[in-house]
Amino acid sequence: MERILKDFIYFLSVEKGLAKNTLESYQRDLKKYLQFLNRQGITDFNETSKKIILEYIAEQKKNGLAVSTLTRNLASIRSFYQFLLQEQIIQENPAGELESPKAEKKLPTVLSLKDIELLLDQPQPRGNIGMRDKAMLELLYATGIRVSELVSLNLDNVNLKMGFLKCEGKGNKERIVPLGSVAIKSLQEYLQNGRSKLLKQKDEKALFVNQHGKRLTRQGFWKILKKYALRTGINTEITPHTLRHSFATHLLENGADLRSVQEMLGHADISTTQIYTQITRKKIKEIYNQTHPRA
């Protein structure tokens, strides 16, 4: 069995031309598998089965291997069995129909209302930059738009009188998102007193501009947010998407229906939006456990 493994690695090297690191990865994964087969008393690959491979994967999972590592191990085993079948060493491929382990969906990071308020209070709207930054943060939390959508906004995308903005999301799909009173106030302050002083050319269409009077970039906004996040002292990593996640979760916690939140976020599929319901359910359970006398 060890000799067959060497033949397989040689095949990958010569026929497939795989890199040294990839070959080492295959060899490492498959040596562990052969050791497992040896412990099971299996000396012929024809004695293996789908059940045996699944038992091996289950053992690796029990040993604490990450889903990504398990997926790679299974991919190595699949390729190996394809080679065995091709070389007529086995008659049937027990790994042919095996599915890769599914990674658990990680719940998005959401800030509490207290932490959101702390973050939004960081920009001091006394200077031009402060007014701009305050307006941007308030707008992100008020609408849940993506940072790419934020920096793409033009003056004519915002209607403060009617209280909404128009943005273009993924797939060039346009949507209308309402604005809250606090965001409107911050935007009015920025547009009346800050933006004009940052401009270098009066015909600039961008809503948010940098110190050179040009459209602010995504990277530029990331730096701005990072600066204010550090000032808060909040231990949670804060990214532009954290505000988007917090926007959606806080809406659902306060009774918004899922379909409306989907529309505001610009999700094509409602299943993408449903992840936020898991967060609200988790919070409800925590509150129950903390407050119910017989929890």
Catalytic residues, which ones?
146, 170, 241, 244, 267, 276
Contacts of 286 (CB under 8 A, 6+ apart): none
Contacts of 220 (CB under 8 A, 6+ apart): 151, 210
Cα(282)–Cα(113) distance, rounded to whole angstroms? 16
- Distances, alpha carbon 117 to alpha carbons 2, 122, 182, 260, in Å: 62, 9, 12, 24
For 112, the token pair is: 């509490």
Of residues 277, 241, 242, 237, the one with CA closest to residue 257: 277
Contacts of 35 (CB under 8 A, 6+ apart): none
User: DSSP alpha helices (H): ranges in the chain?
Assistant: 2-14, 20-39, 50-62, 67-86, 113-120, 128-143, 147-152, 181-189, 195-198, 218-232, 240-253, 258-265, 270-273, 275-291
Cα(138)–Cα(119) distance, rounded to whole angstroms? 10
Per the document, the length of the chain is 295
Cα(58)–Cα(65) distance, rounded to whole angstroms? 10
Helix, strand or coil for residue 78?
Answer: helix
First to last CA, the chain: 56
